[in-house]
Structure 1
Amino acid sequence: MEKPLVSIITPSFNSEKFIIQTIQSVQDQTYQNWEMIIVDDASTDKTSSIIKEIAAGDKKIRFIQLDKNSGTGIARNTALNEAKGKYIAFLDADDLWKPQKLDKQIDYLTQHNLPFTFSFYECINEEGESLNKRVEAPKNLSYVQLFFCNYVGNLTGIYDADYFGKIAVTSIRKRQDWVLWLTILKKIKSAGPVAESLAYYRIRKNSISASKFDLLKHNFAVYRTFHRYNVAVSLICMIGFLATQLIIKPHYSKKL
């Protein structure tokens, strides 16, 4: 019996330094029934030509070029519209998967008859060097826990499109993954991870992960725009978010 198809959604923009390794980490998967849909957001470097060359030699990789820079949300939704898989997975153009990532997560989903899961992951710098940090999450993640902290790494989340349908990314420019997981957890109430590190998240100098101020700003936008809370309620939620970072975070993020 053939294993279910996994559609991998990858937006790219000026990722010439990383995209070859990212694609290779997918090609090296022990689980081989996948399609990778890469949507380039009008890169100005060699990203597009690199992807085109690789896709020409691998029929499982599909490349779409946007005419103008439109943001990762448009790029992800464009890829999602083309996806044919039962499962939807996400991998940004600078992150990496470990070889057994899909195998272990799809096996976990099917064995436990679940529509969604994620995993732990490790952090690396721009040069691919380990930052000696593994990001973990609660073994039974609830909607309330997720509300105050995005425990789910975008590069680890996988959901069943037969169960949820294709969930389009919101118009919020940043923290779209958090909104996606909140949408999922609001329906299923809780979810569990594959409790091991299956991916590498690259922290770049200009990313929101590297800027605490930008992180707070974009989180506040989620409370205001997605949850539609007024300023006062959103500020209270941010206090809860900050408390979570200070008190709970050491329990799920640790040195290797």
Structure 2
Amino acid sequence: MPKITVLMSVYNETPAQLRAAMDSILAQTETDFELNVVLDQPKATNLHQILDEYARKDRRVLVLVNEKNSGLPYSLNRALDSGTAPMLARMDADDVAEPQRFERQLTIMEDRLLDVLSTSAKFIDEMGKPAGEHDYIPEKPKQLARLLPLGSPLVHPSIMMRREVVVKAGGYRLLPTAEDYDLWLRLLQQGARIGATNEKLMKYRLRGNSMTSGDRYKVFLVSEYLQKTYAAGKFPEAPVELADLKDYLDANGYDNPAIRDKFNRRVLNLSAGKQALRAKKPFTAARLIVPGLLNQAVRRYARHSRLYNAAYAHYARH
């Protein structure tokens, strides 16, 4: 039995990005792993050919192909169920892992008795060029246990976690987005120790199509729903029902393009308004901020952001 099962889903990455991700995993200094790759776009024959090539060359690579596009959580569960290792490691098919990533994560998890560990990351653009780095992540389980109910600073594709706690929580649920945040909250509810390291063991690729205006609103609504559910103590004894979540999304008009676009514009204006305040331009700031705060969803977003940022600032200092 290998030490680690790597969970990777492939959808619309470029051949070069996929090869870079695969090469970075197969070059790990910790070599005792299985790499379970799920192709979630069966019509992508070019990507399928690349994956088959790697599987022929390295017995640690298992390629699974979904019959149709089924989404990230479904694909991750399929990779999880097809593996046997006691440790699980996430990896996205367009990111690059540093060679010592797995070795360092195993050491840190054992030293700190963690169930889940996120690393930090450097950012790269679509061409692989440096594009900044991730903000500081509070590292201690007690800090994250208080911060995660307000929002997540964790880097999902860098995560390593113990299979037993993930299986006990029921794995990833088939949510329309924020499936990782849903899992962190359920793991917290069952007492899992979630930690982080600020070692930058990943190169996280920023892609131009990673967040559309519709996605932004959906992520906010799903995250808000999960936070309310967690606060009410409904995990894991009474899991989120997808029908209830759908009702919540429908009630907030998430499928209405006009509502989504207005939310996105006004959230961006809030950020621009804060910059105007820092630049001592109060009238510009008011013009940008006030219309957004007249919108109920944007007010909720601003309140959530304020609470999260205050908590984050506190734990970042400690």
Give the residue type in structure 1 aligned to 2:145.
Y
CA distance 1:131–1:66, shift in 2 (3 Å): same
Superposition deviation, residue 164 in structure 1 = 4.4
**1:173 aligned to 2:176?**
yes
Q: 1:28 offset after TM fit, Å?
A: 1.0
| Residues 42, 67 of structure 2: 8 Å contact kept | no
| C-alpha RMSD of the superposition | 2.9
The question of whether the paired residues in 2 share the 8 Å contact of 1:86 and 1:162 is answered with yes
Where does residue 199 of structure 2 map in the other structure? Answer: 196
Q: State the Cα distance separating 1:93 from its structure 2 match.
A: 0.8
Identity of aligned residues (%): 20
The offset of 1:72, in angstroms, is: 1.3
Deviation at 1:34, TM superposition (A): 0.7
The residue aligned with 2:151 is 149
Alpha-carbon deviation of 1:100? Answer: 0.6
Query: Bigger relative contact order, structure 1 or 2, given CA contacts below 8 A and separation 6+?
Result: 1
Shift of 1:252: 9.5
Which residue of structure 1 lines up, in the alignment, with residue 268 of structure 2? none
Q: TM-score, normalised by structure 1?
A: 0.85
Q: Which has the higher strand share?
A: 1
Could you list the per-position Cα deviations for residues 68-101 of structure 1 after superposition, in whole angstroms to 9, with x for gaps in the alignment? Answer: 1111121111111112110011111111111111
The Cα of 1:172 is off from its aligned counterpart by 1.0
Counterpart in the other structure of 1:222:
223
What is the match of residue 13 of structure 1?
A: 11
Q: Which residues of 2 match residues 133-144 of structure 1 at below 5 A?
A: 133-140=133-140, 141-144=143-146
In the other structure, the counterpart of 1:33 is 32
Closer, same or farther: CA 94–43 of 1 in aligned 2, 3 Å: farther
Preserved contact between residue 122 and residue 200 of structure 1 (Cα < 8 Å): yes
Structure 1 residue aligned with 2:306: 243
Count of aligned pairs between the two proteins: 249
Structure whose alpha-carbon radius of gyration is higher: 2
Q: Distance in 1 between matches of 2:97 and 2:315?
A: 20
Letter in 2 for 1:223: E
Which residue identity lines up with residue 97 of structure 1 in the other structure?
A: A
Q: One-letter code of the match for 1:39?
A: V
Matched-pair contact (CA < 8 Å) for 1:126–1:204: yes
Deviation, structure 1 residue 134: 2.6
Length-normalised TM-score, structure 2? 0.70
- Give distance in 2, aligned partners of 1:101 and 1:212: 33
Q: Is the 8 A contact 1:172 1:225 kept in 2?
A: no
- How far 1:187 sits from its partner (Å)? 2.5
**Other-structure match for 1:70:** 70
CA contact (8 A) 1:28 1:99 kept: yes
CA distance in 2 between counterparts of 1:213 and 1:69 reads 19
